[in-house]
Amino acid sequence: MQPENASVALYDAPAQVRQTLAGLLAAGFDSRQVSLAAGSFRDELAAGLSGQGCFEIPGIGAVRIAGPLSDWVTAALRNAPMFGSLTAVGAGLHSVGISRASIERCEAALRDGRYLLLACGPAVEIRKVQGILKA
């Protein structure tokens, strides 16, 4: 994917995540293109997101991931030598075009107990939902 085909946002509280997810779905964004990552979260927060996994990521700690990012992290773990200094979460984000600077912010946020939402898809759709993600 090209960088404009993915957008990431960070949140402090589950209520913010819930509100953003509701906004994405109300705007017609496909839930199969959304991922959620955090140290932990309640199952209902990830309802409708495809695939889930729990990972112990060196440098970050325990991370629970729902959505396609879970598959990308699993692939990164299988191919760790290819990604050099990136963590598996960083490699998953990098694989969809998230910049290294944003990856560092995302990893720091996960270490601090914050929530990460990632939306991926055609550039035209991502442009439409960026305002929802950043709200």
| Bridge partners, 6 (sequence order) | 120
The token pair that represents 1 in the structure block: 């994917």
Q: What is the total count of domains within the chain?
A: 1
Q: Which domain holds residue 23?
A: 3-134
| pLDDT value of position 4 | 58
Question: Which residues have CB under 8 Å from 22's CB, separation 6+?
Answer: none
pTM of the predicted structure, to 2 decimals: 0.89
Closest CA to 118 of 53, 21, 13: 21
| pLDDT value of position 124 | 86
| pLDDT value of position 123 | 87
Average pLDDT, the chain: 88
The token pair that represents 104 in the structure block: 């560092």
| pLDDT value of position 62 | 94
| CB 4, CB 123: distance < 8 Å | yes
| pLDDT value of position 135 | 60
Measured at the CA of 14, the angle between CA 97 and CA 129, to 5 degrees, comes to 40
| pLDDT value of position 81 | 61
User: Which residues in the chain come in under a pLDDT of 50?
Assistant: 1-3
